[in-house]
Amino acid sequence: MVMAHTTGLKLAGLAVLVTLCGAAPAFTQVDLAGEWGARLHEDQAYRGPGPEVGEYLGLPINDEARMKADSWDAAVYTIPERQCIPFAADHGLTIGSMRIWKEVDTTSQDVIAWHEHHEWQAQERTIWMDDRPHPPEWAPHTWQGFSTGKWAGNTLTVTTTHLKMGQIERNGVPRSDKATLLEHYFRHGDYLTIVQTVTDPVYLTEPFVRSRNFVWSPGQQLNAYPCRPAVEVDRPKHQVPHYLPGTNPSLDASTRRFGVPAVAARGGAETMYPEYVLKLRTAAPANGRNQSPVASSVSRTIQTTGAHDSDVHVLPVQGSVYLIAGPDGNSVLQVSDDGVLLVDTQTAQVSEKILAAIRQTSNKPIRFIVNTHAHADHIGGNEKIAKAGRAFGGRAAGVGFLALEPAEGATIIAHENVLKRVSAPAGSKAPMPFPAWPTETYFNDEYEVFNGEAVQLVHVPAAHTDGDSLVFFRRSDVIATGDVFSTVSYPIIDERTGGSINGTITALNQILDLAIPRATQEGGTYVIPGHGRVCDEADVVEYRDMVVIIRDRIQDLIKRGMTLAQIKAAGPSFDYDRRYTTESLTADMFTESVYRSLTRGK
C-alpha cells in the first residue's frame, strides 16, 4: 500500500511538471532505432530479379513512361557512368536490410533526425525532425532526396523532395526528378512496415503506392557495398545503349513466360484495381506482340519549367564557388582573397541585383567576367558589372597582360567567336555596345585564369553556339556549363551561330570526362547549368542519354525517308516532352532543330 501511494504521488508530480513546463512528447511515439532485416517471403522473385522486360501490370503509368520503358536496354548498366548508380529513396527499400538510428539534442533530448543506412548499395538517408524547410528548387537533387518527418500518434509521416531521376521498377519504368515521396512508418513490436506513395507529374497518372516489411534483427551485420566504375564491354566511348521504337524484342516476355494478357502487361492505372480482371474476361484477345509503335504526338502536353521567380538568389555550391540564380538563367560566382570572378552576367535588367548578390558574398573587387557564349541573357549585364569592377595589373590570365596602373573595369574573357558575334565590321552597328565586348579572348581549345585557384576555360565547338566555353574551377571542383546543358528544357541549338546537335552531345560528353563523382555516382564534381538547378555527373548522364536517344530516333526516321512533317507527327521526343518542353522550346521546335542539324549540307 505504501508503494502504491508513493507511485501515485510520483504520477501526480509528473502531471504538475508537465503543466508547468509544457506538453511532453507523445508517449505513443515509438522507437524506430535498430537493425532491421528485409522480409522478402511474399514477393522475393519480383523484388529480387525484378519484373520481366515490358511487364508494367499494376503500374499507373502514362504513354510517355511506357515509351521510355520500351526503349530501355539493360546494357545501359555496363557503361561506366551508370554502373554505380543506386536505387533512389522510393526504390531503395526493395531488397536489402537497413539500420536506423536517431540523432538527439543533448540539451532538450528532442530527436533532431532519424538516420538510415541501407545495405543494398550503401545508401545513407536522413529524415529531419526539427521543422527545417526543404531546400530551394535550384538546390542539388540526390538519390535519397531531402526528407522531413512528423509524428501523428505512433505513425511517422515522411515527405521527400529533391529526388534524382529514378525508376519505378527495375525494367526501365521511369520516375522523374519532379516526383515527391510520401511515406508512413508503422512499428508493431518486432515488425516495421513502410508504406510509400510516389506522385510524379511527368510519368504517373495517379499516385503509386507500395509497402515494404522489416523484422527486428539485433544480431544483424550489414555488408559493405563497394563500387568503382570500369570498362566492362568493348564499345565506343560514350555510347548509350537503347532500343529504337518498335525494335525491342523482349516486350512480350511476361506474356510468353507467364501468360499475362498482352493488354494487361502494358500497365496503366486501371490495371491496379480488382475490377480490371472482369474487364479482361470480357475483352477481345489482343493480337500481335506486346509492342508499342512510335508514340503519337496528339497527347503531348507542355509542362513549363522556367525560372523560379523574378528575384536573384545566392546558393553556396562547393569550395569558393556560388550559384547566383536569376529569373532568366544562372551566373556563377567564385571568390578569393584577390577578387571576384563571375561567369555570365545575365540580362541588363538584373545587373543591380547581380551586383547586390556579389556584395552579399564578397567585398573584393570584381576582377574577371567570363562569358560562356554570346547570347544576351548571359552577357547583357557585361557593361554595367564590368564597370563596377577593376582588373588586375600584371599577369592576370593565361598569356597575361601588363598594366602599370590597375585597369579600369573588370576583364571580360571569352572565346574569340563570342567577340565576333557581339562586334561588327567597321561601319556596321554591333549587336552589343563596345564596353560589353570581351577584352581578352582565346582561340585554341583551352585558356587559363588564376583567381585564388586554377580556372580552366574549355572551348566546345559547334555545340549550343560556335563560341561555347565550359568553366572548370579546379580546386573547388565545380563546372559552369553555360547553355550546352540545362535542367529546364531541351538543348537550344542556335544554328545561326554555329550550333549543332552532335556538337551538343560532344560537349555533354566532355563535361562527363571532366567530372568525377563521389561514391554512388553522387556529388564530387558539381555542375552548374546555364538554366536550372545545381547538378552532378549523374544528372548530366540523364540529360546526355536523353539527347542521344532523341538524336538517334530522328536519324533513324531520316534514313527511312520520312519528311520533317512525318517525323514530327511520329513524336520522337514524346517520352521526354512532359519534362523538357517549354513555351519557348516546344517538342516540335526541338525536333525541327535536330532535323536541320542532321540534314545540313545534304
Closest to 379 in 3D by CA, of 417, 309, 432? 432
Q: Is the separation of the CB atoms in 379 and 436 below 8 Å? A: yes
Q: What's the whole-number mean pLDDT along residues 127-151?
A: 96
For residue 27, is pLDDT > 90? no
> Where does the pLDDT of residue 372 fall: very low under 50, low under 70, confident under 90, or very high at 90 and above?
very high
Q: Is 417 helix (H, G, I), strand (E, B) or coil?
A: helix
Contacts of 494 (CB under 8 A, 6+ apart): 375, 464, 465
Q: Is the separation of the CB atoms in 141 and 164 below 8 Å? A: yes
Cell 525494335: give the residue. Answer: 247
- In the chain, the amino acid numbered 339 is G
Q: Determine if the pTM surpasses 0.85.
A: yes
Percentage of the chain modeled with pLDDT above 90: 75
For residue 405, is pLDDT > 70? no
**Domains of the chain (ranges, CATH numbers):** 34-51+84-216 (2.40.128), 315-599 (3.60.15.10)
For residue 304, is pLDDT > 70? no
pLDDT of residue 9: 39
Q: What's the whole-number mean pLDDT along residues 22-27?
A: 44
Alpha carbon distance 293, 300 (integer Å): 15
Angle at 359 between CA 356 and CA 362, to 5 degrees: 155
pLDDT of residue 24: 43
pLDDT of residue 307: 45
Alpha carbon distance 387, 411 (integer Å): 10
**Edge-to-edge strands, sheet with 411-415:** 313-318, 321-326, 329-335, 340-343, 366-370, 411-415, 440-442
* Residue of 149 and 402 predicted with greater confidence: 149
Angle at 517 between CA 516 and CA 519, to 5 degrees: 140
Rounded to the nearest 10 degrees, the angle between the axes of helix 501-514 and helix 537-559 is 150
DSSP string for residues in 441-466: EE-SSEEEEESSSEEEEEEETTSSSS
pLDDT of residue 308: 56
C-alpha cell at 590: 526541338
Kindly report, residue by residue over 471-497, the tens digit of the pLDDT: 999 999 999 999 999 999 999 999 999
C-alpha cell at 16: 504538475
> Where does the pLDDT of residue 29 fall: very low under 50, low under 70, confident under 90, or very high at 90 and above?
confident
Kindly report, residue by residue over 570-602, the tens digit of the pLDDT: 999 999 999 999 999 999 999 999 999 999 866
* Residue of 341 and 12 predicted with greater confidence: 341
Q: Is the separation of the CB atoms in 37 and 214 below 8 Å? A: yes
pLDDT of residue 589: 97
Alpha carbon distance 340, 351 (integer Å): 16
Q: Identify the burial level of 297 via C-beta atoms within 10 angstroms of its C-beta, where 0-12 means exposed, 13-18 middle and 19 or more buried.
A: middle
For residue 560, is pLDDT > 80? yes
> Where does the pLDDT of residue 413 fall: very low under 50, low under 70, confident under 90, or very high at 90 and above?
very high
> Where does the pLDDT of residue 50 fall: very low under 50, low under 70, confident under 90, or very high at 90 and above?
confident
Q: What's the whole-number mean pLDDT along residues 153-167?
A: 96
pLDDT of residue 452: 94
Alpha carbon distance 469, 417 (integer Å): 10
pLDDT of residue 468: 97
Alpha carbon distance 525, 514 (integer Å): 8
Alpha carbon distance 562, 559 (integer Å): 8
pLDDT of residue 316: 97
* Residue of 586 and 427 predicted with greater confidence: 586
Alpha carbon distance 404, 394 (integer Å): 8
C-alpha cell at 135: 531546400
> Where does the pLDDT of residue 429 fall: very low under 50, low under 70, confident under 90, or very high at 90 and above?
confident
Kindly report, residue by residue over 176-204, the tens digit of the pLDDT: 999 999 999 999 999 999 999 999 999 99
Range scoring the smallest mean pLDDT among 25-34, 97-106, 137-146, 391-400: 391-400
Q: What's the whole-number mean pLDDT along residues 25-50?
A: 77
Percentage of the chain modeled with pLDDT above 70: 87
pLDDT of residue 533: 97
For residue 8, is pLDDT > 80? no
Contacts of 486 (CB under 8 A, 6+ apart): 492, 529, 530, 531, 532, 543
Q: What's the whole-number mean pLDDT along residues 114-124?
A: 92
